[in-house]
Amino acid sequence: MSRAVAQALMAAKRLLVVSHYDPDGDALGASLGLSHLLRTQGKQVWVYSAGPIPEEYEFLPGMDQVSDGLPPLKEVEMAALLDCHQPERAGAKAAEFLAGVPRAVVVDHHRGPVEYGDPAWVDAGYAATCLMLAEMALEAGWEISPAAATCLFAGLQTDTGSFRYSNATPRAFRAAAKLVEAGADPWAVSQQVYATRVKRLRLLARVLERMAVLAGGRLAVGQVSLIDLAEMDADSRDLEDAVEAIRGVPGVEVAALVREMKTGGVKASMRSRGGVDVAAVAIALGGGGHKSAAGMRMDLSLAEARELIISRLLKAMGAEA
């Protein structure tokens, strides 16, 4: 199948490369990796992503050419849909565009019914779409530039958890070795991809440090102000795991994180270990969610919101302050 995809790609001169919205390292690495492989062979390539682009991938060579705008439809002879195999996964705008493109190939390693792509090479046995593209390029004898190798390596690295997951097979290591030979620098890629980890850890440390522990250790409430985020050079994306970390504190049954929003007001996330229905608390305050994970936005100051949430949670837990 890799040969059929390679042959199809060679038949076109002007191609659009598309991957899924909310792109990860594999989606962006595959899109940019393929764009470099094709440009090296003299082709005109547009790279579309609905975004948002996580900052840890901004270093990928060619990222400045990734756009959330589409070229004129008549310019595009062929599309390549990568790291997903349903056009809708690329976003509504791209899906509509793809419906009008003369031909589209698909390369993906996710499960699910395959109804799109000519040809569609979808195989969940691969660790990463970047692995599929690397093997395809190697088999076809295409020149792999250092830029292409770097992008494909980054996707393979991130989708294998830095070669730690069970999908870090001999096959993945073999392709990784070839990509390093072609110019990918594992240390340079790691530094970029995991640089924000340090920022997230610092922010998490601050959240834990300032966390209020109530009800004899059963309730833990963290808060983050806009000043905290600015001081840490962080934004709300860096807080994704913080409430999970608070819930992980031994003895904590309910965790809450209240964060000040740039747009005004606060956002609160609540997690329970299962005993307390935090969705009921969230719904009563205008939010929603699941029994053990819920949240809401509130038009209050950080201090007011924190106080209100604490009193509601203590009540829900049948606890005293």
Contacts with Mn ion by CB under 5 A lie at 26, 83, 129, 159
- Rounded Cα distance between 65 and 46, Å, is 8
Q: With respect to Mn ion, which residue has the nearer C-beta, 129 or 157? A: 129
- Least distance from Mn ion to the Cβ atom of residue 89, Å: 12
Beta carbons within 8 Å of 227's beta carbon, 6+ residues apart: none
User: Is 29 or 295 the residue whose CB approaches Mn ion more closely?
Assistant: 29
Beta carbon nearer to Mn ion, 129 or 167: 129
Contact yes or no for 270/295 (Cβ under 8 A) = yes
- How is the beta sheet containing 254-260 ordered, strand by strand? 212-214, 219-224, 254-260, 266-272, 293-298, 288-290
CB of 20 to Mn ion, least distance (A): 9
**DSSP secondary structure letter of residue 54:** P
CB closer to Mn ion out of 26 and 260: 26
**Nearest residue (CB) to Mn ion, 28 versus 296:** 28
Exposed/middle/buried for 141, CB within 10 Å: 0-12, 13-18, 19+?
A: exposed
What gap in Å lies between CA 99 and CA 278, rounded to an integer?
Answer: 43
Provide the residue type at 219 as one letter: L
Give the residue with the Cβ less far from Mn ion, 128 or 313.
128
Handedness of CA 121, 125, 131, 135 (dihedral sign): negative
- Cβ at position 56, least distance to Mn ion in Å: 15
CA-wise closest residue to 19 among 41, 60, 4: 60
Q: Taking the complex as a whole, how short is the minimal distance between the CB of residue 134 and Mn ion, in angstroms?
A: 13
What is the 3 state secondary structure string of 60-118?
Answer: CCCHHHEECCCCCHHHCCEEEEECCCCHHHHCHHHHHHHHHCCCEEEEECCCCCCCCCC
> Least distance in Å: CB of 51 to Mn ion?
17
**Which has the closest alpha carbon to 60: 237, 184, 173, 196?**
184
To Mn ion, the closest distance from the beta carbon of 264 in angstroms equals 36
CB nearer to Mn ion: pick between 49 and 129: 129
Q: Taken in order 28, 30, 35, 36, is the CA torsion positive or negative?
A: positive
For Mn ion, which is the closer residue by CB, 89 or 206?
Answer: 89
| Tokens standing for residue 38 | 């094709």
For the CB of residue 8, give the shortest distance to Mn ion in the complex, in Å.
21
Shortest distance, position 29 Cβ to Mn ion, whole Å: 9
Residue nearest to Mn ion (CB): 26
Question: What distance in Å separates the CA atoms of residue 284 and residue 298, rounded to the nearest whole number?
Answer: 12
